[in-house]
Amino acid sequence: MQKKILPMSYRLILVLYNAIYSLIATFLFIFNYFRSKKNNPALPVLNNGYKVDMWVLCPSSGDEALLKEILSSWPEEEPITVLASTGTQKGYEFLKNLHPPRQVGLLVDHMPQDRSSVVKSYLKKFSPRALIQLGTIEFRPNLFLNCKKQDIPSLFLNPRLSPRSLARYLFLQNFWYFLGPDEICASSEIELSRLRVLFPGRKIDKLPDINLDRYPENNLIPYVHNPLSHYLKAQSQFLVFALVGKEEEDHIIRSIKEVLYKRPKSIIAIFPEDNAKSDTWDQLLQNKGISRIKRSELQDQVPPGSVILWDVAGEIDAAYALARGVFVGGTLAPRKKEADFLRPLYQGVIPCIGPYWHHFAWAEEVVFRQGLVTQVQNEIELQSNLLEYLKGNPKREKINENFHNFLVNGQGGTTSAINKIISYIRHQN
């Protein structure tokens, strides 16, 4: 790899970046001074150093699941040591609870500050042979610059780049191009086209999507084995609003009222994006004059016209298996946190989503062409589709079969990613 000298104009940009970064970091330090140290756990080995084969960055929530797939499938004959850094507390906890195979040594840390001194310290202590960024594209100028100076190759795997982020990065396109990764492996045509705009001439390959390997073959949950059959009849006009967030509250409330007005015998379940938010939703429903019952309070069959606020974890698949229609939240209004809108297909029900699904651009528009997902533009279209779903039970076996065929045709990304990483590491030997 040929070392690059940072042009003077880019140095000025970096000086400005470092000044702003230092101010923000200082403010956050003061702001968080009295917070518990438990919220900022440190990696014990940092003081001593530990040589690793690759440093993996997981900037956003959900990116850690990609790393789990890679490490779980790592070949036994290729022992490896990995430093994984995550940008979220939830991601940190997820990675700390991973149990990779014995050929994989895993160190977990929070994402370090992108200060030149901090980055140099990390690179000196861990000496990674490759830098891998999974999922969300997040440029860290000092890290990428120092990796280039030390001939540490960098690779973006399964990158996600939203239209808004693309527009923002294009403002300093030449700067990011200079500091960008040596190679990019994207999975969808949408991402490929955006990345080619941002990195013209850079090596960008198409790779099967790692996300599709997260969906193992799964059987439908039959009604007689469904743990919720005690509360819901097989022919219930049952709708699920899944993983709905604060940004969608008004849309969901109006949609619930419209469905109950036109289909008074329907039963509606609300799954908040976080179980901890169930009390918030309970108060919201009360304020809007909507009668509801909490899932934890159910004892007998739910009468028609009921609204169930789900405050019990681990039952969303069972609910999908009984639903005639599903809306998956995080898609009707802009939201950073992504939701898995393909999951209902496992239980043979076609999900309905809004227009904000760029986090799942890897699924591509093939899921729409094959009729596996219904997209609406607003709450009016959402209400119309959900009312249509209530007219009859979905053809679960056929939907599940079509989804399985979609997965089979797109899987293999994990193996391809592993081979790519191994080639990078071997190149550094």
pTM of structure: 0.77
| Sheet strands (E) in 164-237 | 183-186, 204-206
How would residue 295 be classed by pLDDT, with cut points 50, 70 and 90?
Answer: very high
pLDDT digits (tens, 9 = 90+) for 320-335: 999 999 999 988 988 7
Where in the chain are the domains?
8-13+35-208+412-427, 223-410
- Identify the CATH homologous superfamily for domain 223-410: Glycogen Phosphorylase B; (3.40.50.2000)
Closest by CA to 364, choosing from 137, 233, 192, 239, is: 192
Of 240, 244, 210, nearest to 363 by C-alpha is 210
Buried b (16+ CB within 10 A) or exposed e, 252-265: bbebbebbbeebee
The length of the chain, given as a count of residues: 429
φ/ψ of residue 422, rounded to 5: -60, -40
Phi-psi region of 248 (alpha: psi -120 to 50; beta: other; left: phi over 0): alpha
For the cut 50, the answer to whether the pLDDT of residue 36 exceeds it is: no
pLDDT in the model for residue 25: 56
Residue 172 binned pLDDT confidence (cut-offs 50, 70, 90): confident
Neighbours of 402 (CB within 10 A): 18
pLDDT of residue 170: 92
Quick: pLDDT tens for 298-310. 999 999 999 999 9
% of residues, the chain, pLDDT over 70: 87
Per-residue tokens: 150: 């030390």
Q: CA–CA separation, 212 vs 217, rounded Å?
A: 11
Across the chain, mean pLDDT equals 86
Q: For residue 292, how many C-alpha atoms fall within 13 Å in the half-sphere facing its CB?
A: 27
Q: Between these two residues, 376 and 189, which has the higher pLDDT value?
A: 376
> 164: which residues sit within 8 A by CB, 6+ positions away?
none
Exposure string of 309-343, with b = 16+ CB inside 10 Å and e = fewer, is: bbbeeeebebbbbbbbbbbbbbbbbebebbbbbbb
C-beta separation of 387 from 348 below 8 A? no
d(CA 375, CA 353) in angstroms, rounded, equals 5
* CATH code linked to domain 8-13+35-208+412-427: 3.40.50.11720
Q: How far is Cα 206 from Cα 413, in angstroms, rounded to an integer?
A: 10
Joined tokens for residue 203: 């090596």
Kindly state the DSSP code that residue 208 receives in the 8-state scheme: -
Domains 8-13+35-208+412-427 and 223-410 in one fold: yes
Counting Cβ atoms within 10 Å, is residue 156 exposed (0-12), middle (13-18) or buried (19+)? buried
* Pairing of β 54-58 and β 131-136: parallel
pLDDT one-digit tens code per residue, 211-265: 888 876 767 999 999 999 999 999 999 999 999 988 899 999 999 999 999 999 9
Assess contact for 62 and 359: CB atoms under 8 A. yes
Residue labelled with tokens 């970096």 = 14
